[in-house]
Amino acid sequence: MDNLNGLLAFVRTVEKRSFVAAGERLGVSASAVGKSVARLEAQLGVRLLNRSTRRVSLTEEGALFFERCQRIVAEIEEARTELSRLADSPRGKLRVSLHAVGYRMLLPILPEFVRRYTDIELDLDFNDRLIDVIAEGADAVIRSGDLGNSQLKARRLGTFRFALVGAPAYFASRGTPQAPEALAQHACLRYKFPTTGQLQSWNLPIPAGSSGLTLPATLTFNNVEALIFAATQGLGIACLPDFVVREALVDGTLVSVLDGCLTEPGSFSVLWPTNRHLLPKLRVFVDFLAEQLDLGA
């Protein structure tokens, strides 16, 4: 059916038994209501109403059609009401995907979000895999680094620093590197992006007279939590966002080396599909992240 206005005009006319009364209910003229019903009859190829100067009544075919249409119109009205409520206040399920290690930055501020927005149901997917936001039905994703030519809308949330860290026991046995080029003689714990299989670059300064610095990949991991654990166990040196090792640096489980060598910061952004309306539930979530997130850069 390509004319919902015709359905609505038909149902209201039958309910009010008059084109005039139906027009008053719909906020249009009686003539406009009559023409909508006539177009509907032409599309269906049947006469739905008997018309007289005083009233209208259903034909046999019209009575059958009205029974179904009344339910359809009621569903449409209910949907409109529900959408109006959604437009007025943040509510409903909100599915957000972010890095597996993202819980370290998100969970500390979640209690305040839950307290503020009791009608939002958060469905959080902590996963290092780069998901297809539209195909997998996510409302938003939080990603780090260069967004490239993303077809998604984005809002930057903040920046962070990287740190080269290892366990005290590792440095006690292998020595502490005093310059970036010394890392070539150390066990380097490397992060491998699950989607591309590429190793994360450590973005170290290039030594004078060199074309680049080649780092060993003594152990590689596609999960940041495993990488952190390996570093705390003294297996080597890892390059990690400072906010994920903040507590370990404070309690001495890990120590940092070559401070100041990693000058290029990382960044986090929240992204959502360009063809998806920014519903209140997503808008308040984005605003809350921008307001509350403290990455410590």
Per-domain boundaries in the chain: 4-87, 92-158+266-292, 162-257
Domain 4-87 grouped into CATH 2.40.50.140 = no
Q: Is the predicted pLDDT of residue 230 greater than 90, yes or no?
A: yes
Q: Which region among 54-58, 149-153, 231-235 has the lowest average model confidence (pLDDT)?
A: 149-153
Residue 186 confidence (pLDDT): 96
Position 134 confidence tier, pLDDT thresholds 50, 70, 90: confident
Q: Is the predicted pLDDT of residue 249 greater than 60, yes or no?
A: yes
Q: Is the predicted pLDDT of residue 205 greater than 70, yes or no?
A: yes
Domain 4-87 shares a fold with domain 162-257: no
Residue 209 confidence (pLDDT): 60
Q: Is the predicted pLDDT of residue 262 greater than 90, yes or no?
A: no
Looking at residue 7, its amino acid is L
Residue 120 confidence (pLDDT): 94
230-245 mean pLDDT: 95
Position 153 confidence tier, pLDDT thresholds 50, 70, 90: confident
Q: What are 205's two structure tokens?
A: 């300064």
Residue 210 confidence (pLDDT): 63
**By CB neighbour count within 10 A (0-12 exposed, 13-18 middle, 19+ buried), where does 111 fall?**
exposed
Mean pLDDT of the chain: 86
Cα distance between residue 42 and residue 274, in whole Å: 39
Cα distance between residue 3 and residue 10, in whole Å: 11
Q: Is the predicted pLDDT of residue 297 greater than 60, yes or no?
A: no
Residue 170 confidence (pLDDT): 97
Fold entry, domain 162-257: D-Maltodextrin-Binding Protein; domain 2 (3.40.190)
Residue 100 confidence (pLDDT): 83
Residue 1 confidence (pLDDT): 45
28-33 mean pLDDT: 88
Q: What are 131's two structure tokens?
A: 């998901």
- Residue (of 236, 223, 217, 97) closest to 166 by Cα position: 236
Q: Are 26 and 62 in contact (CB under 8 A)?
A: no
Residue 190 C-alpha from the chain's centroid: 28
The structure tokens 């259903």 sit at: 58
Q: Are 269 and 219 in contact (CB under 8 A)?
A: no
- Residue (of 56, 128, 66, 116) closest to 91 by Cα position: 116
pTM: 0.64
Cα distance between residue 128 and residue 143, in whole Å: 10
Residue 37 C-alpha from the chain's centroid: 43
Residue 168 confidence (pLDDT): 98
CATH architecture of 92-158+266-292: 3-Layer(aba) Sandwich (3.40)
Beta-carbon neighbour count of residue 280 at 10 Å? Answer: 18
What percent of the chain stands above pLDDT 70? 90
- Residue (of 134, 139, 100, 84) closest to 224 by Cα position: 100
88-94 mean pLDDT: 84
Cα distance between residue 175 and residue 188, in whole Å: 14
Q: Is the predicted pLDDT of residue 232 greater than 60, yes or no?
A: yes
Residue 227 confidence (pLDDT): 95
Q: Which residue did the predictor score with more confidence, 11 or 166?
A: 166
